[in-house]
Amino acid sequence: MIEPGSSWVFPRAEFPSLLAGLERAGYRVVGPTVRDGAIVYGTIRSVGDLPEGWTDRQEAGTYRLAKRDDGALFGYNVGPHSWKKYLFPPREQLFTLRRDGSASFEVTPPPDDEPPLAFLGIRACEIAAMRIQDRVFVGGGTPDAGYARRARSRLVVAVQCGQAGGTCFCVSMGTGPAVRAGYDLSLTELIEPGRHDFLVQVGTPEGAGVLADVPMRPATPADLSAGEARVARAAQSMGRTMDTTGVHEVLLRNLESPVWEDVGRRCLACTNCTLACPTCFCHSTEEVPDLSAERVERWRRWDSCFNLSFSELHNGSVRATVPARYRQWLTHKLATWFDQFGSSGCVGCGRCVTWCPVGIDLTAEVRAIRAADARAVPPEGGPAP
Protein backbone atom coordinates (compact mmCIF):
# COMPACT_ATOMS: atom_id res chain seq x y z
CA MET A 1 0.00 0.00 0.00
CA ILE A 2 1.24 3.43 -0.86
CA GLU A 3 0.58 5.18 2.41
CA PRO A 4 1.64 8.47 3.92
CA GLY A 5 4.90 7.80 5.70
CA SER A 6 6.02 5.08 3.30
CA SER A 7 9.12 5.34 1.09
CA TRP A 8 9.67 3.92 -2.38
CA VAL A 9 12.24 3.83 -5.12
CA PHE A 10 11.71 4.14 -8.86
CA PRO A 11 14.31 4.38 -11.62
CA ARG A 12 14.99 7.58 -13.54
CA ALA A 13 13.48 5.91 -16.61
CA GLU A 14 10.10 5.89 -14.85
CA PHE A 15 10.08 9.62 -14.16
CA PRO A 16 7.59 10.15 -17.03
CA SER A 17 5.08 7.94 -15.23
CA LEU A 18 5.22 10.30 -12.23
CA LEU A 19 4.44 13.21 -14.57
CA ALA A 20 1.64 11.15 -16.11
CA GLY A 21 0.23 10.51 -12.62
CA LEU A 22 0.24 14.23 -11.87
CA GLU A 23 -1.50 15.01 -15.12
CA ARG A 24 -4.06 12.28 -14.65
CA ALA A 25 -4.90 13.74 -11.24
CA GLY A 26 -5.77 17.00 -13.02
CA TYR A 27 -2.73 19.08 -12.08
CA ARG A 28 -0.92 21.56 -14.24
CA VAL A 29 2.69 20.69 -13.48
CA VAL A 30 5.13 23.56 -13.02
CA GLY A 31 8.80 23.17 -12.26
CA PRO A 32 12.36 24.10 -13.22
CA THR A 33 13.22 24.75 -16.86
CA VAL A 34 16.21 26.36 -18.56
CA ARG A 35 15.50 29.73 -20.12
CA ASP A 36 17.79 32.66 -20.99
CA GLY A 37 20.75 31.19 -19.19
CA ALA A 38 19.02 30.55 -15.90
CA ILE A 39 16.82 27.96 -14.25
CA VAL A 40 13.34 29.39 -13.98
CA TYR A 41 9.96 27.89 -13.17
CA GLY A 42 7.59 27.10 -15.99
CA THR A 43 5.18 24.50 -17.33
CA ILE A 44 6.51 20.94 -17.39
CA ARG A 45 4.94 18.76 -20.09
CA SER A 46 7.61 16.11 -20.27
CA VAL A 47 10.89 15.17 -18.64
CA GLY A 48 12.60 16.94 -21.52
CA ASP A 49 11.45 20.27 -20.07
CA LEU A 50 13.52 19.68 -16.91
CA PRO A 51 17.12 21.00 -16.75
CA GLU A 52 18.63 17.56 -17.24
CA GLY A 53 22.40 17.60 -16.85
CA TRP A 54 22.57 21.26 -15.77
CA THR A 55 23.91 22.83 -12.65
CA ASP A 56 24.41 26.41 -11.53
CA ARG A 57 27.29 28.36 -10.02
CA GLN A 58 26.26 31.17 -7.74
CA GLU A 59 28.14 33.85 -5.87
CA ALA A 60 27.24 37.32 -4.68
CA GLY A 61 26.15 39.14 -7.83
CA THR A 62 26.88 36.24 -10.21
CA TYR A 63 24.95 33.31 -11.60
CA ARG A 64 25.83 31.02 -14.42
CA LEU A 65 24.75 27.64 -15.70
CA ALA A 66 27.19 24.79 -16.26
CA LYS A 67 26.90 21.28 -17.61
CA ARG A 68 27.21 18.29 -15.34
CA ASP A 69 28.00 14.83 -16.64
CA ASP A 70 25.70 12.71 -14.49
CA GLY A 71 22.42 13.56 -16.20
CA ALA A 72 20.83 14.71 -12.94
CA LEU A 73 17.34 16.19 -13.29
CA PHE A 74 17.61 18.34 -10.15
CA GLY A 75 21.36 18.96 -9.86
CA TYR A 76 21.19 22.70 -9.18
CA ASN A 77 19.80 25.04 -6.55
CA VAL A 78 17.34 27.91 -6.72
CA GLY A 79 17.21 30.43 -9.57
CA PRO A 80 15.86 33.95 -9.97
CA HIS A 81 12.22 32.84 -9.91
CA SER A 82 10.34 31.62 -6.90
CA TRP A 83 7.08 29.72 -6.63
CA LYS A 84 5.42 32.80 -5.23
CA LYS A 85 4.73 33.88 -8.82
CA TYR A 86 2.10 31.13 -8.98
CA LEU A 87 0.37 31.73 -5.64
CA PHE A 88 0.86 35.49 -5.54
CA PRO A 89 1.12 36.46 -9.24
CA PRO A 90 3.15 39.55 -10.18
CA ARG A 91 -0.07 41.12 -11.44
CA GLU A 92 -3.50 39.92 -10.48
CA GLN A 93 -7.00 41.21 -10.98
CA LEU A 94 -8.86 41.43 -7.69
CA PHE A 95 -12.29 42.23 -9.06
CA THR A 96 -14.28 44.16 -11.61
CA LEU A 97 -16.67 46.85 -10.50
CA ARG A 98 -19.55 47.58 -12.88
CA ARG A 99 -21.93 50.47 -12.40
CA ASP A 100 -25.57 49.63 -12.78
CA GLY A 101 -26.96 53.03 -13.59
CA SER A 102 -25.65 55.90 -11.52
CA ALA A 103 -27.13 54.60 -8.29
CA SER A 104 -25.11 51.50 -7.52
CA PHE A 105 -22.49 48.99 -8.71
CA GLU A 106 -21.78 45.28 -8.72
CA VAL A 107 -18.45 43.71 -7.79
CA THR A 108 -17.45 40.44 -9.46
CA PRO A 109 -14.34 38.39 -8.77
CA PRO A 110 -12.12 37.30 -11.68
CA PRO A 111 -12.98 33.91 -13.23
CA ASP A 112 -11.73 30.94 -11.28
CA ASP A 113 -10.88 28.52 -14.07
CA GLU A 114 -7.22 27.68 -13.46
CA PRO A 115 -6.43 24.01 -12.86
CA PRO A 116 -4.74 23.15 -9.57
CA LEU A 117 -0.97 23.40 -9.67
CA ALA A 118 1.60 20.75 -8.86
CA PHE A 119 4.90 22.27 -7.77
CA LEU A 120 7.52 19.81 -8.99
CA GLY A 121 11.03 20.23 -7.64
CA ILE A 122 10.33 22.63 -4.79
CA ARG A 123 13.19 22.69 -2.27
CA ALA A 124 13.07 22.70 1.53
CA CYS A 125 13.80 26.43 1.83
CA GLU A 126 11.13 27.11 -0.76
CA ILE A 127 8.50 25.13 1.14
CA ALA A 128 9.45 27.17 4.19
CA ALA A 129 9.06 30.38 2.14
CA MET A 130 5.68 29.26 0.85
CA ARG A 131 4.48 28.56 4.35
CA ILE A 132 5.64 32.02 5.38
CA GLN A 133 3.54 33.55 2.60
CA ASP A 134 0.66 31.27 3.61
CA ARG A 135 0.78 32.90 7.03
CA VAL A 136 0.72 36.36 5.48
CA PHE A 137 -2.09 35.73 3.00
CA VAL A 138 -4.32 33.19 4.73
CA GLY A 139 -3.01 32.84 8.28
CA GLY A 140 -4.14 36.22 9.53
CA GLY A 141 -7.55 37.68 10.15
CA THR A 142 -8.62 38.35 6.56
CA PRO A 143 -7.65 35.67 4.06
CA ASP A 144 -6.81 36.70 0.53
CA ALA A 145 -9.36 34.98 -1.71
CA GLY A 146 -7.17 34.36 -4.76
CA TYR A 147 -4.16 33.17 -2.81
CA ALA A 148 -6.27 30.92 -0.60
CA ARG A 149 -7.97 29.35 -3.63
CA ARG A 150 -4.67 28.52 -5.31
CA ALA A 151 -2.92 27.43 -2.12
CA ARG A 152 -5.58 25.00 -1.02
CA SER A 153 -5.48 23.06 -4.28
CA ARG A 154 -1.70 22.94 -4.77
CA LEU A 155 0.30 19.74 -4.70
CA VAL A 156 3.83 19.87 -3.31
CA VAL A 157 6.32 17.50 -4.95
CA ALA A 158 9.53 18.40 -3.18
CA VAL A 159 13.11 17.59 -4.04
CA GLN A 160 15.76 17.34 -1.36
CA CYS A 161 18.96 19.14 -2.32
CA GLY A 162 22.01 16.95 -2.90
CA GLN A 163 24.36 19.92 -2.94
CA ALA A 164 24.20 23.53 -1.84
CA GLY A 165 24.80 26.68 -3.85
CA GLY A 166 27.37 29.37 -3.23
CA THR A 167 24.87 31.72 -1.62
CA CYS A 168 22.74 29.15 0.26
CA PHE A 169 22.36 29.33 4.04
CA CYS A 170 19.22 27.32 4.80
CA VAL A 171 21.06 25.46 7.56
CA SER A 172 21.56 28.75 9.43
CA MET A 173 17.89 29.60 9.01
CA GLY A 174 16.70 26.15 10.03
CA THR A 175 14.72 25.63 6.82
CA GLY A 176 16.68 22.93 4.97
CA PRO A 177 18.15 21.18 3.15
CA ALA A 178 16.09 18.21 4.42
CA VAL A 179 12.41 18.32 3.52
CA ARG A 180 10.65 17.51 6.78
CA ALA A 181 7.12 18.85 6.50
CA GLY A 182 4.68 20.49 4.15
CA TYR A 183 5.02 18.04 1.25
CA ASP A 184 2.77 15.62 -0.58
CA LEU A 185 5.74 13.80 -2.06
CA SER A 186 9.42 14.30 -1.34
CA LEU A 187 11.95 13.12 -3.91
CA THR A 188 15.65 12.51 -3.48
CA GLU A 189 17.70 11.89 -6.59
CA LEU A 190 20.10 9.00 -6.01
CA ILE A 191 22.97 8.99 -8.48
CA GLU A 192 25.83 6.58 -8.00
CA PRO A 193 27.95 4.63 -10.46
CA GLY A 194 25.52 2.31 -12.23
CA ARG A 195 22.47 3.85 -10.62
CA HIS A 196 20.08 6.73 -11.24
CA ASP A 197 16.99 6.38 -9.07
CA PHE A 198 14.51 8.47 -7.20
CA LEU A 199 13.70 7.86 -3.58
CA VAL A 200 10.16 9.06 -2.92
CA GLN A 201 8.70 9.69 0.51
CA VAL A 202 4.93 9.92 0.67
CA GLY A 203 3.52 12.73 2.80
CA THR A 204 -0.21 12.68 2.12
CA PRO A 205 -2.99 10.62 0.50
CA GLU A 206 -3.01 13.11 -2.39
CA GLY A 207 0.66 12.36 -2.92
CA ALA A 208 0.05 8.63 -2.72
CA GLY A 209 -2.67 8.98 -5.35
CA VAL A 210 -0.39 10.25 -8.09
CA LEU A 211 2.05 7.34 -7.53
CA ALA A 212 -0.56 4.66 -8.23
CA ASP A 213 0.77 3.82 -11.69
CA VAL A 214 4.47 4.44 -11.08
CA PRO A 215 6.38 1.14 -11.19
CA MET A 216 8.37 1.24 -7.95
CA ARG A 217 9.60 -0.90 -5.10
CA PRO A 218 9.66 -0.27 -1.36
CA ALA A 219 12.76 1.62 -0.25
CA THR A 220 15.36 -0.36 1.65
CA PRO A 221 17.32 0.98 4.64
CA ALA A 222 20.24 1.35 2.24
CA ASP A 223 18.16 3.59 -0.06
CA LEU A 224 17.10 5.72 2.88
CA SER A 225 20.64 6.17 4.11
CA ALA A 226 21.82 6.98 0.59
CA GLY A 227 19.19 9.73 0.55
CA GLU A 228 20.25 11.00 3.94
CA ALA A 229 23.89 11.06 2.85
CA ARG A 230 23.03 13.30 -0.08
CA VAL A 231 21.14 15.73 2.12
CA ALA A 232 23.99 15.70 4.62
CA ARG A 233 26.40 16.57 1.83
CA ALA A 234 24.21 19.54 0.91
CA ALA A 235 24.12 20.64 4.54
CA GLN A 236 27.91 20.57 4.67
CA SER A 237 28.39 22.58 1.49
CA MET A 238 26.45 25.73 2.40
CA GLY A 239 28.04 28.71 0.65
CA ARG A 240 27.00 31.11 3.41
CA THR A 241 26.17 31.14 7.10
CA MET A 242 24.32 33.60 9.26
CA ASP A 243 24.41 33.80 13.02
CA THR A 244 20.75 34.25 13.94
CA THR A 245 21.16 34.35 17.72
CA GLY A 246 19.28 37.34 19.00
CA VAL A 247 19.20 38.86 15.51
CA HIS A 248 15.81 40.46 16.24
CA GLU A 249 17.21 42.43 19.18
CA VAL A 250 20.56 43.12 17.55
CA LEU A 251 18.97 44.71 14.47
CA LEU A 252 16.34 46.65 16.36
CA ARG A 253 18.82 48.15 18.77
CA ASN A 254 20.99 49.20 15.83
CA LEU A 255 18.50 51.18 13.77
CA GLU A 256 21.00 54.01 13.70
CA SER A 257 24.06 51.92 12.96
CA PRO A 258 26.59 53.45 10.53
CA VAL A 259 26.31 50.18 8.59
CA TRP A 260 23.01 51.34 7.04
CA GLU A 261 24.74 54.36 5.53
CA ASP A 262 27.53 52.17 4.22
CA VAL A 263 25.32 49.55 2.57
CA GLY A 264 22.88 52.22 1.43
CA ARG A 265 25.65 53.92 -0.51
CA ARG A 266 26.33 50.68 -2.41
CA CYS A 267 22.69 49.72 -2.96
CA LEU A 268 21.16 50.83 -6.28
CA ALA A 269 17.57 50.45 -5.00
CA CYS A 270 16.95 48.33 -8.09
CA THR A 271 14.41 46.09 -6.26
CA ASN A 272 15.97 42.85 -7.62
CA CYS A 273 16.29 41.41 -4.13
CA THR A 274 12.63 41.90 -3.26
CA LEU A 275 11.41 40.53 -6.59
CA ALA A 276 13.62 37.44 -6.30
CA CYS A 277 12.87 36.85 -2.62
CA PRO A 278 10.33 34.05 -2.15
CA THR A 279 8.75 35.67 0.93
CA CYS A 280 8.54 39.36 -0.06
CA PHE A 281 4.84 40.11 -0.39
CA CYS A 282 4.58 43.91 -0.57
CA HIS A 283 2.33 45.07 -3.35
CA SER A 284 0.35 48.02 -4.63
CA THR A 285 -3.18 48.19 -5.89
CA GLU A 286 -4.25 50.16 -8.89
CA GLU A 287 -7.49 50.82 -10.71
CA VAL A 288 -7.98 50.44 -14.43
CA PRO A 289 -11.15 52.21 -15.55
CA ASP A 290 -12.62 51.97 -19.00
CA LEU A 291 -13.12 55.35 -20.66
CA SER A 292 -16.43 56.11 -19.03
CA ALA A 293 -15.48 54.57 -15.66
CA GLU A 294 -18.62 52.42 -16.00
CA ARG A 295 -16.39 49.42 -15.55
CA VAL A 296 -13.36 49.57 -13.26
CA GLU A 297 -10.92 46.75 -12.68
CA ARG A 298 -8.90 46.68 -9.51
CA TRP A 299 -5.47 45.06 -9.84
CA ARG A 300 -2.64 44.29 -7.53
CA ARG A 301 1.00 44.19 -8.60
CA TRP A 302 4.25 43.42 -6.85
CA ASP A 303 5.86 46.48 -5.36
CA SER A 304 9.06 46.92 -3.38
CA CYS A 305 10.13 48.75 -0.25
CA PHE A 306 13.14 49.89 -2.30
CA ASN A 307 10.89 52.10 -4.43
CA LEU A 308 10.75 55.70 -3.27
CA SER A 309 7.02 55.79 -3.99
CA PHE A 310 6.35 52.82 -1.73
CA SER A 311 6.35 54.92 1.44
CA GLU A 312 4.90 58.04 -0.16
CA LEU A 313 2.71 60.11 2.09
CA HIS A 314 1.22 63.48 1.18
CA ASN A 315 4.29 65.42 2.29
CA GLY A 316 6.87 63.15 0.64
CA SER A 317 8.22 59.67 1.15
CA VAL A 318 8.76 58.44 4.69
CA ARG A 319 11.83 56.46 3.65
CA ALA A 320 13.39 59.10 1.47
CA THR A 321 16.95 57.77 1.51
CA VAL A 322 18.31 54.47 0.19
CA PRO A 323 19.91 53.60 3.57
CA ALA A 324 16.47 53.98 5.16
CA ARG A 325 14.99 51.67 2.55
CA TYR A 326 17.70 49.02 2.91
CA ARG A 327 17.22 49.19 6.68
CA GLN A 328 13.48 48.68 6.23
CA TRP A 329 14.07 45.65 4.04
CA LEU A 330 16.64 43.91 6.19
CA THR A 331 14.99 44.64 9.53
CA HIS A 332 11.69 43.44 8.12
CA LYS A 333 13.16 40.18 6.81
CA LEU A 334 15.12 39.29 9.92
CA ALA A 335 13.42 41.07 12.81
CA THR A 336 10.02 42.74 12.54
CA TRP A 337 8.62 39.83 10.50
CA PHE A 338 8.64 37.92 13.80
CA ASP A 339 6.50 40.64 15.39
CA GLN A 340 4.12 40.78 12.44
CA PHE A 341 3.77 37.14 11.44
CA GLY A 342 5.47 35.02 14.09
CA SER A 343 8.45 33.81 12.06
CA SER A 344 11.54 34.98 10.23
CA GLY A 345 10.93 36.52 6.82
CA CYS A 346 14.13 34.96 5.49
CA VAL A 347 14.63 31.27 4.68
CA GLY A 348 18.27 31.47 3.57
CA CYS A 349 17.73 30.73 -0.13
CA GLY A 350 20.44 33.20 -1.17
CA ARG A 351 18.51 34.68 -4.11
CA CYS A 352 18.90 38.27 -2.92
CA VAL A 353 22.66 37.75 -2.68
CA THR A 354 23.06 36.14 -6.09
CA TRP A 355 20.78 38.55 -7.94
CA CYS A 356 21.99 41.81 -6.41
CA PRO A 357 23.79 43.60 -9.26
CA VAL A 358 26.36 44.97 -6.82
CA GLY A 359 26.67 41.80 -4.78
CA ILE A 360 25.27 43.06 -1.50
CA ASP A 361 25.16 40.07 0.83
CA LEU A 362 22.77 40.21 3.76
CA THR A 363 24.84 37.70 5.72
CA ALA A 364 27.80 40.08 5.49
CA GLU A 365 25.66 43.08 6.43
CA VAL A 366 24.37 41.27 9.52
CA ARG A 367 27.98 40.48 10.44
CA ALA A 368 28.91 44.14 9.99
CA ILE A 369 26.04 45.24 12.21
CA ARG A 370 27.04 42.72 14.86
CA ALA A 371 30.63 43.95 14.72
CA ALA A 372 29.56 47.59 15.06
CA ASP A 373 27.17 46.58 17.84
CA ALA A 374 29.97 44.80 19.72
CA ARG A 375 32.12 47.91 19.47
CA ALA A 376 29.26 50.07 20.74
CA VAL A 377 28.12 47.81 23.56
CA PRO A 378 31.16 46.52 25.44
CA PRO A 379 30.57 43.13 27.04
CA GLU A 380 29.36 43.42 30.59
CA GLY A 381 32.16 44.13 33.00
CA GLY A 382 34.60 44.85 30.19
CA PRO A 383 36.17 48.25 29.70
CA ALA A 384 34.65 50.63 27.21
CA PRO A 385 36.87 50.95 24.12
Partner 1 sequence: MSTVRDGPRPVDPGPGIGPTLAPEPYTVWSRTQDTRDTATLVLAPSRTGSVPAFEPGQFNMLSVPGRGEVAISISGDPGRPGEWVHTVRSLGLATQAIAGATPGSLLAVRGPYGRGWPVDRAWGKDVVIVAGGVGLAPVRPLILELLRHRDRVGRLEVIYGARTPDDLLYAPELAGWRHRTDARFQVTVDAAGREWYGDVGLVTQRVPDARFDAANTVAFLCGPEIMMRLTAEALESRGVPRPAIWVSLERTMQCGIGLCGHCQLGPYLLCRDGPVLPYADVAPLLRIRGL
* Residues making contact with ligand SF4 (CB under 6 A): 129, 267-273, 276-279, 306, 333, 346-352, 356-358, 360, 362
**Residue 123 lies near partner 1 (rule: CB under 8 A):** no
Verify binding: residue 111, partner 1, rule CB under 8 A: no
Q: Which is nearer to partner 1, 142 or 245 (CB)?
A: 142
If one asks whether residue 86 binds partner 1 (CB under 8 A), the answer comes out as no
Nearest distance from C-beta of residue 326 to ligand SF4, angstroms: 6
By a kind-dependent CB cut-off of 5 to 8 A, residue 255 interacts, out of partner 1, ligand SF4, none, with partner 1
Q: Which of 5, 48, 141, 379 binds partner 1 (CB under 8 A)?
A: 141
CB of 326 to partner 1, least distance (A): 11
- The reply on whether position 286 binds partner 1 by CB under 8 A is yes
Q: Is residue 153 near partner 1 by the rule CB under 8 A?
A: yes
What mask, x for binding partner 1 by CB under 8 A, covers residues 245 to 284? -------x--xx------------------------xxxx
Three-state DSSP string of the chain: CCCCCCEEEEEHHHHHHHHHHHHHCCCEEEEEEEECCEEEEEECCCHHHCCCCEEEEEECCEEEEEECCCCCCCCCCCCCCCCHHHHCCCEEEEEEEEEECCCEEEEECCCCCCCCEEEEEECHHHHHHHHHHHHHHCCCCCCCHHHHHHHCCCEEEEECCCCCCCCCCHHHHCCCCCCCCCCCEEEEEEEECCEEEEEEEECCHHHHHHCCCCCCEECCHHHHHHHHHHHHHHHHCCCCCCCCCCHHHHHHCCCCCHHHHHHHHHCCCCCHHHHHCCCCCCEEEEEEECCCCCEEEEEEEECCCCCHHHHEECCEECCCCHHHHHHHHHHHHHHHHHHHHCCCCCCCCCHHHHCCCCCCCHHHHHHHHHHHHHHHCCCCCCCCC
Q: Looking at beta carbons only, is 96 or 244 nearer to ligand SF4?
A: 244
* Least spacing, CB of residue 143 vs ligand SF4, in Å: 23
Binders in 172-191 for partner 1, by CB under 8 A: 181-184
Min dist CB 73 to partner 1, Å, is 21
Range 340-359, binding partner 1 (CB under 8 A): 340, 342
Q: Is residue 320 within the footprint of partner 1 (CB under 8 A)?
A: yes
Q: Which of 14, 59, 134, 262 binds partner 1 (CB under 8 A)?
A: 134
Residue 2, phi then psi, degrees to nearest 5: -85, 100
Q: Which of 11, 61, 80, 139 binds partner 1 (CB under 8 A)?
A: 139
**Is 313 an interacting residue with respect to partner 1 (CB under 8 A)?**
yes
Query: Does residue number 310 form part of the binding site for partner 1 (CB under 8 A)?
Result: yes
